[in-house]
């Protein structure tokens, strides 16, 4: 039996607050899915340009059977001092009204604006 690859995990600070705001049963599901993501046992469908927002480079995970609640995350390449890439949680929340996607797009836009130009 081989050991599962372990990716690094990081999250937007507000995404951690999102997790705490989920209904309790969904918090457990979110932890389960995040664990599967960092051990490379799961990978969500890719997102792209959706209406007014561009979530290219992001993926989603459904937290419930009705697909009403989602995680939005990025798979990040390895840092120079690291051998493995990472999972970066951007947002968690309801799909209703595209709330989780709007939140993710807003957070990514703020992150890209804060990064210095190369």
DSSP codes, the chain: -PPPP--EEEE-HHHHHHHHHS-HHHHHHHHHHHHHHHTTS--PPB--EETTEE-TTEEEEE-STT--EEEEEEEEPPPTT-SS-EEEEEEEEE-GGGHHHHHHHHHHHHHHHHSPP-
Q: pTM of the full predicted structure?
A: 0.85
52-88 pLDDT per residue, tens: 888 999 999 999 999 999 999 999 887 777 667 899 9
- Report, as an integer, the average pLDDT of 36-46: 93
């Amino acid at each position: 039996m081989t050991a599962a690859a372990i990716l690094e995990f990081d999250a937007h600070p507000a995404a951690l607050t999102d997790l705490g705001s989920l209904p309790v049963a969904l918090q457990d599901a979110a932890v389960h899915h995040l664990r599967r993501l960092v051990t490379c046992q799961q990978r969500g469908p890719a997102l792209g340009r959706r209406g007014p927002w561009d979530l290219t480079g992001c993926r989603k995970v459904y937290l419930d059977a009705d697909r009403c609640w989602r995680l939005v995350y990025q798979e990040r390449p390895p840092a120079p001092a690291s051998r493995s890439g990472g999972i970066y949680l951007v947002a968690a929340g309801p799909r209703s009204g595209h709330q989780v996607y709007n939140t993710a797009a807003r957070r990514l836009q703020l992150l890209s604006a804060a990064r210095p130009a190369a």
